[in-house]
């Protein structure tokens, strides 16, 4: 038999009960790894590598441009070709300087829209130099270097366009010179070369261009595969650590069950207390029996340190009374609440037979989507019932979601409103600090901001993510790291962790786990209905468009910069 009890936190601090977030643990922006961009996934790492390479290439190009411009006045050759080349270099240097300044200021500026003007100005400058030096001179060699760097860019279309422009310009310029359509004003002119030799040289140049492009693209693919393998290993390690933390919490919780406590065998209100069945940061829970009729119950008492503060005691009583008014089969039923003046404040709740979701997930790392649909539906009903009474739970997590065995079959219930918040109050018995379990906190909760019922909707989305993927949406080596992830990172796409999940499930969880509460579902019922429809493959087009727009702004697995 399992009973209602205050559950252990899922944070890596291994404390029982919800975590109180102090100023030192509040999420702070960590320094970016490369040029202001955090490297969190293979895609992030590849993008950061591209930006670093663009900055390095810029420095090399500026040295080359400065050297060429310094020597041009001392070189001979056709004046019009020379100054056209010089003008092309200046235009390209300006474009390159603007582009690098833009991506240093905002890495999101590294995109095709800004790459095309840069690439086209570079092609113009390069072939102005080829015409000045001669189509049969070593000048095309400088194009090979730039072509290789451009071939390493992640965009599928841009590298091909630049290669096409280079190959096309080289072929057109060489054909026009060999046909006599334009005069060869180059510094290097093959005066005695037969036409066959000239054609052969140009074919070799085209072959080098093509080989450079293909080698660059293959190198890009190999690097992406290597980064992906590293990401898979890192993800597996993070998942193992998260599961180990959950297992340790369960062991710690189990260690308390059945032990006598300070109030064992004493009477509190209408109940005779038995063994302790749970301990947490705010209090402890005893198995109990109502003396009048022998009904089983679970009685929660506050810890001594909380009892020492009259304000905490008074607020505990007010919030207990508010929770007692919640009438839902999916919220643990309150049987009795102590009088505000009672020397030992308590809450007596129905005693349940079954197990909490955390215990289920210890046996089964992932749950079938159909089972998660039922759990989400039941918990969502409990969230909405609490919201209707102005109560925000604030600490929803697997250990606070209980599968009760009833005559009507399994019923999921929400447990432990010990750190709940009344909607019309600025604080709670926690003294205004942010509290909860870090891996399931909403971003506004992690930042210590004001919260509403959408915090509980977010937590239910995080619980569904854990059930479907086998790992928490956010994890880390300590509480500040987890809080930082919650606030500044979008989790990994669920279907990457569980390939059988439909794309519509990704969409629903994207809305449920939105960083801004305005982007989330308005209530638990909306989340439950959308999730059930997604599992059936019947998600509406309006929600699909809404989710796709949200993911476009905040892509899965990316840092928010």
Q: What is the DSSP letter of 490?
A: P
pLDDT the model gives residue 39: 39
Distance of CA 424 to the CA centre of its chain: 31
Lowest mean pLDDT among 168-177, 193-202, 234-243: 234-243
Q: Which of 103-117, 217-231, 355-369 comes out lowest in average pLDDT?
A: 217-231
The dihedral region occupied by 432, where left means phi > 0, alpha psi between -120 and 50, and beta the remainder, is left
Q: Is the pLDDT of residue 423 over 70?
A: no
pLDDT surpassing 50 at residue 14: no
Distance of CA 339 to CAs 321, 373, 502, Å? 10, 39, 51
pLDDT higher than 60, residue 431: no
Summarize the confidence of residues 300-306 as an average pLDDT: 79
Is residue 395 among the annotated active site residues? yes
The DSSP code for 439 is G
Residues 461, 441 contacting (CB under 8 angstroms):
no
Angle between helices 42-71 and 79-105 (to 10 degrees): 150
Measured N-to-C along each axis, helices 503-512 and 453-469 cross at an angle, to the nearest 10 degrees, of 150
pLDDT bin (cut points 50, 70, 90) of residue 234 is low
Mean pLDDT on 433-443: 76
Q: Are 402 and 415 in contact (CB under 8 A)?
A: yes
pLDDT of residue 13: 30
Compute the CA torsion angle 189, 190, 192, 195 (nearest 10 deg).
-130
Percent of the chain with pLDDT over 70: 82
Query: Under 8 Å CB-to-CB from 397, ≥6 apart: which residues?
Result: 7, 9, 10, 358, 437, 439, 440, 459, 463
Q: Which comes out higher in pLDDT, residue 13 or 252?
A: 252
Domain segments of the chain as ranges: 42-230, 256-351, 353-423+436-560
d(C-alpha 118, C-alpha 320), whole Å: 64
Number of CB atoms found within 10 A of residue 522's CB = 13
**Phi and psi based region of residue 189 (left: phi greater than 0; alpha: psi -120 to 50; beta: remaining):** beta
Which percentage of the chain shows pLDDT scores above 90? Answer: 36
Q: Is the pLDDT of residue 8 over 50?
A: no
Residue appearing with tokens 């205050």: 6
Confidence class for position 534, pLDDT limits 50, 70, 90? very high
Instruction: Tell me the mean pLDDT in the region 241-249.
Output: 62
pLDDT score of 280 = 64
CATH 1.10.357.10 fits 256-351, yes or no: no
Sequence length of the chain is 561
Per-residue pLDDT, averaged over 311-329, amounts to: 76
Query: CB–CB of 129/139 below 8 Å?
Result: yes
pLDDT band at 283 (very low <50, low <70, confident <90, very high): confident
- Residue 46's pLDDT is 79
Q: Give the separation between CA 174 and CA 135, rounded to whole angstroms.
A: 6
H helices, E strands: number in the chain:
17, 13
Closest CA to 35 of 107, 91, 135, 95: 107
**pLDDT in the model for residue 261:** 67
The superfamily in CATH containing domain 353-423+436-560 is: Transferase(Phosphotransferase) domain 1 (1.10.510.10)
Averaged pLDDT, 230-248: 65
**pLDDT tier at 557, thresholds 50, 70, 90:** confident
Count of CB atoms situated within 10 Å of the CB of 314: 14
Whether the pLDDT of residue 90 is over 50: the answer is yes
- Which residues are CB-neighbours of 490 under 8 A, at least 6 positions away? 513, 515, 554, 555, 556, 557, 558, 559, 560
pLDDT value at residue 16: 39
Q: Which two three-digit tokens encode residue 479?
A: 């509480």
Sign of CA dihedral 12, 17, 18, 20: negative
CA 226, chain centre distance (Å) = 21
At residue 12, the pLDDT reads 31
Over range 157-173, report the average pLDDT.
93
pLDDT value, residue 315: 67
Report CA 270 to chain centroid distance, whole Å.
48
Look over the chain and give the mean of its residue pLDDT values, rounded to a whole number: 82
**How large is the average pLDDT for residues 169-189?**
89
Average pLDDT over residues 432-448: 78
The lowest-confidence range among 82-96, 183-197, 408-422, 463-477 is 408-422
More confident residue, 121 or 238: 121
User: What pLDDT is stored for residue 33 in this prediction?
Assistant: 37
State the catalytic residue, choosing from 184, 377, 395, 416: 395
Average pLDDT of 219-230? 83
DSSP state, 286? Answer: E
Q: Tokens at residue 81, please?
A: 């070709």
Structure-model confidence comparison of residues 278 and 506, the more confident one: 506
Residue 258 burial by CB count (10 A; 0-12/13-18/19+): exposed, middle or buried? exposed
Q: What phi and psi values does residue 388 have, to the nearest 5 degrees? A: -65, -25
Tens-digit pLDDT profile for residues 35-66: 333 335 667 777 888 888 888 888 888 898 89
Task: Output the CA angle 292-294-295, nearest 5 degrees.
Answer: 105
pLDDT at position 10 over 60: no
């Amino acid at each position: 038999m399992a009973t209602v009890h205050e559950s252990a936190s899922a944070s890596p601090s291994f404390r029982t009960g919800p975590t109180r977030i102090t100023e030192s643990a509040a999420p702070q922006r960590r320094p970016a790894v490369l040029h202001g961009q955090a490297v969190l996934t293979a895609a992030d790492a590849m993008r950061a590598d591209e930006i670093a390479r663009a900055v390095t290439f810029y420095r090399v190009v500026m040295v080359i441009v400065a050297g060429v411009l310094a020597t041009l006045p001392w070189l001979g050759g056709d004046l019009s070709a020379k100054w056209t080349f010089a003008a092309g270099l200046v235009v390209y240097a300006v474009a390159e300087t603007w582009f690098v300044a833009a991506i240093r200021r905002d890495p999101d500026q590294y995109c095709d829209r800004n790459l095309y003007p840069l690439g086209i100005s570079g092609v113009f400058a390069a072939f102005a130099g080829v015409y000045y030096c001669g189509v049969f001179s070593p000048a095309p060699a400088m194009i090979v270097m730039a072509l290789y760097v451009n071939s390493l860019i992640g965009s599928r279309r841009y590298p091909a366009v630049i290669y096409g422009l280079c190959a096309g310009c080289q072929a057109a310029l060489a054909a026009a010179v060999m046909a006599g359509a334009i005069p060869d004003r180059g510094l290097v002119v093959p005066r005695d070369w037969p036409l066959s030799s000239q054609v052969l040289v140009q074919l070799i140049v085209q072959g080098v261009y093509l080989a450079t492009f293909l080698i660059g693209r293959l190198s890009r693919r190999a690097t992406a595969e290597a980064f992906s393998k590293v990401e898979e290993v890192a993800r597996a390690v993070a998942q193992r650590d998260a599961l180990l933390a959950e297992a340790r919490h369960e062991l710690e919780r189990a260690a308390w069950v059945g032990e006598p406590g300070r109030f064992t065998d004493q009477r509190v209100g209408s109940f005779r207390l038995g063994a302790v069945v749970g301990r947490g940061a705010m209090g402890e829970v005893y198995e109990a029996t109502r003396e009048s009729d022998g009904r089983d119950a679970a009685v929660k008492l506050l810890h001594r340190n909380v009892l020492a503060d009259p304000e905490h005691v008074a607020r505990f009583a007010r919030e207990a009374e508010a929770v007692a008014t919640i009438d839902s089969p999916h919220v643990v039923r309150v049987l009795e609440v102590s009088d505000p003046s009672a020397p030992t404040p308590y809450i007596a709740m129905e005693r349940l037979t079954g197990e909490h979701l955390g215990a289920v997930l210890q046996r089964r790392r992932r749950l079938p989507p159909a089972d998660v649909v039922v759990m989400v539906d039941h918990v969502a009903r409990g969230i909405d019932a609490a919201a209707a009474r102005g109560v925000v739970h604030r600490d929803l997590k697997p250990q606070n979601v209980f599968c009760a065995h009833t005559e009507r079959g399994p019923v999921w219930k929400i447990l432990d409103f010990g750190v709940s918040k009344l909607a019309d109050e600025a604080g709670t018995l926690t003294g205004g600090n942010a509290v909860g379990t870090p891996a399931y906190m909403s971003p506004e909760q992690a930042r210590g901001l004001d919260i509403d019922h959408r915090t509980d909707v977010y937590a239910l989305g995080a619980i569904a993510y854990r059930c479907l993927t086998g790992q928490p949406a956010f994890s880390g080596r300590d509480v500040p790291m987890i809080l930082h992830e919650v606030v500044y990172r979008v989790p990994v796409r669920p279907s990457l962790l569980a390939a059988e999940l439909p794309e519509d499930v990704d969409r629903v969880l994207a809305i449920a786990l939105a960083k801004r509460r305005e982007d989330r579902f308005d209530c638990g019922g909306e989340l439950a209905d959308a999730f059930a429809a997604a599992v059936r493959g019947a998600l509406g087009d309006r929600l699909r468009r809404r989710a796709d727009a949200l993911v476009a702004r905040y892509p899965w697995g990316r840092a928010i910069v």
